[in-house]
């Protein structure tokens, strides 16, 4: 025989005891329509109560927090007249935990599982100021680093390194992002988002037809020396062109694989094969010979004269597969960083080599997590010293 759920009056027509019973039966697999019949209420009432209960059941909570089924067992034990110590043994919980739970929810006579669980969820969700908002010194440090174009990941790592014993001066990169973008957690100035590398919410996939001709006698990247792959030896570079407005201007970008050092090369004569190889050659030969071992490029026709470039500089050129930017990932990442300084649509003819050197210096003095929080300049200087004494 089916037992009807007692339907006492409440805001939605069911008492707290009735809601507890609804939750218990729903967890046992009783259909919602049958629950409505047992409770002598509308189906919509059941959905409204159990919809909230579902949120409670799904709500993420730490392992030490009481679960809704444990609260149901507490209520059942109270109804049976069990002591809190006996209920705690059944649940394998500390009795003080249950004592506090029952006390803050009205005591033994007023305790209801559903109401207690709802209150716990609301306590977790209650509005509260974020960590960054409540600590002015932490906020000042983060804002200063954002203005220097540090990423939230770099700032978080810097804080852990700089303040290893002061948790109040540490914040995860996710906390920083939330403080910038989430209104309820906001404390950092919203205009600081302009310093972040990514300016859009999602990537827009783009496709294009292959229009470039084949480069004669090119050597594939897989034939690059193994020492370049594991970044164990400095002197292996990745390069590409960063194009300006309507592809009418460009600069060349070079990144050393081991140290992540960035070199920017102005191309005032344009991006023809002759102009690019001449400008790159002039820049490359200023480096110590031990630190110019190879150059990895994509299959752009600006490097069609790679054989002459190698003959003039002694630097062999290796070519990636078409549409395979991950084969020179350091350079691709750097080009993304450079868009902070040179947004798409920039006219590069307006920038001198001195301007580019200033930007490169700012990137090279920014600490990198992959370098153990050292800067590319520091690591490169150390490698230069070793190369010159070898």
Please give the residue that has the higher pLDDT: either 17 or 102: 102
Please give the residue that has the higher pLDDT: either 388 or 336: 336
Question: Are 142 and 190 contained in the same domain?
Answer: yes
Q: Is residue 110 part of a domain?
A: yes
Q: Is residue 209 part of a domain?
A: no
Question: Are 250 and 292 contained in the same domain?
Answer: yes
Tell me what the mean pLDDT of segment 55-76 comes to: 68
Please give the residue that has the higher pLDDT: either 223 or 387: 223
Please give the residue that has the higher pLDDT: either 383 or 63: 383
Look at residues 112, 84, 78 and name the one whose alpha carbon lies nearest to residue 98: 84
Give pLDDT tens digits for 136-182: 899 889 988 888 888 888 999 999 999 988 988 998 887 887 777 65
- What are phi and psi for residue 266, nearest 5 degrees? -70, 145
Give the domain extent around 151.
136-195
Q: Are 142 and 168 in contact (CB under 8 A)?
A: no
Q: Is residue 276 part of a domain?
A: yes
Question: Are 358 and 225 contained in the same domain?
Answer: yes
Sequence-ordered alpha helix ranges (H) in the chain: 16-27, 32-39, 43-58, 68-80, 84-91, 95-103, 113-125, 136-147, 152-162, 173-181, 226-229, 273-284, 306-313, 329-338, 353-364, 376-389
Q: How far apart are CA 86 and CA 90, in angstroms?
A: 6
Give the end of a domain, one of 125, 151, 171: 125
Count how many domains the chain has. Answer: 3
What is the structure's pLDDT at 49? 67
Sign of CA dihedral 373, 193, 256, 390: negative
What is the structure's pLDDT at 9? 35
Question: Are 119 and 176 contained in the same domain?
Answer: no
Q: Is residue 309 part of a domain?
A: yes
Output the domain CATH number for residue 270. 3.30.420.10
Question: Are 65 and 114 contained in the same domain?
Answer: yes
Q: Would you say residue 17 has pLDDT above 90?
A: no
Q: Is residue 8 part of a domain?
A: no
Question: Are 76 and 178 contained in the same domain?
Answer: no
Give the end of a domain, one of 158, 180, 195: 195
- What are phi and psi for residue 107, nearest 5 degrees? 85, 180
Question: Are 109 and 175 contained in the same domain?
Answer: no
Q: Residue length, the chain?
A: 390
Question: Are 173 and 83 contained in the same domain?
Answer: no
Q: How far apart are CA 385 and CA 251, in angstroms?
A: 29
Give pLDDT tens digits for 45-58: 776 666 544 444 44
Q: Is residue 1 part of a domain?
A: no
Question: Are 164 and 115 contained in the same domain?
Answer: no
Question: Are 245 and 121 contained in the same domain?
Answer: no
Q: Is residue 205 part of a domain?
A: no
Question: Are 342 and 296 contained in the same domain?
Answer: yes
Give the end of a domain, one of 195, 228, 245: 195
Measured in whole angstroms, how far is the alpha carbon of residue 291 from the centre of its chain? 33
What is the structure's pLDDT at 65? 79
Question: Are 117 and 143 contained in the same domain?
Answer: no
What is the structure's pLDDT at 281? 94
| Predicted model pTM | 0.49
At 375 the three-state DSSP class reads coil
Give pLDDT tens digits for 179-201: 776 544 455 666 666 667 655 43
Q: Is residue 313 part of a domain?
A: yes
């Amino acid at each position: 025989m089916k037992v009807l759920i007692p339907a006492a009056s409440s805001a939605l027509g069911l008492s707290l005891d009735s809601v507890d019973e609804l939750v218990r039966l729903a967890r046992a697999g009783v259909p919602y329509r049958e629950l409505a019949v047992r409770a002598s209420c509308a189906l919509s009432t059941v959905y409204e109560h159990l919809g909230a209960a579902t949120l409670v059941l799904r709500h993420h909570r730490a392992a030490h927090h009481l679960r809704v089924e444990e609260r149901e067992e507490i209520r059942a034990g109270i109804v049976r007249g069990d002591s809190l110590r006996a209920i705690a043994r059944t649940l394998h919980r500390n009795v003080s935990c249950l004592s506090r739970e029952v006390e803050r929810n009205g005591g033994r006579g007023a305790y209801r599982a559903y109401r207690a669980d709802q209150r716990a969820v609301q306590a977790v969700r209650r509005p509260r100021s974020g960590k960054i908002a409540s600590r002015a010194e932490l906020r000042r440090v983060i804002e200063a680093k954002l203005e220097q174009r540090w990423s939230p990941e770099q700032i978080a790592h810097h804080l852990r390194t700089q303040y290893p014993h002061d948790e109040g001066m540490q914040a995860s990169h996710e906390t920083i992002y939330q403080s910038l973008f989430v209104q309820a957690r906001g404390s950092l100035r919203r205009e600081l988002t302009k310093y972040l590398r990514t300016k859009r919410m999602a990537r827009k996939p783009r496709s294009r037809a292959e229009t470039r001709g084949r480069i004669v006698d090119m050597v594939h990247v897989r034939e690059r020396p193994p020492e370049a792959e594991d970044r164990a030896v400095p002197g292996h570079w990745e390069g590409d062109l960063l194009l300006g407005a309507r592809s009418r201007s460009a600069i060349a970008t070079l990144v050393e694989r081991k140290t992540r050092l960035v070199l920017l090369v102005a191309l005032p004569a344009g991006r023809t094969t002759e102009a690019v190889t001449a400008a790159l050659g002039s820049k490359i030969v200023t480096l110590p010979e031990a630190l110019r071992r190879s150059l990895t490029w994509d299959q752009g026709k600006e490097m069609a004269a790679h054989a002459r470039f190698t003959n003039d500089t002694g630097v062999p050129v290796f070519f990636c597969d078409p549409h395979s930017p991950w084969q020179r990932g350091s350079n691709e990442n750097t080009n993304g960083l450079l868009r902070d300084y040179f947004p798409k649509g920039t006219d590069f003819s307006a920038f001198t080599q001195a301007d580019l050197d200033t930007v490169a210096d700012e990137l090279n003095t920014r600490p990198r997590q992959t370098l153990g929080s050292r800067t590319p300049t520091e690591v490169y200087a150390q490698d230069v010293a070793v190369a010159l004494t070898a």
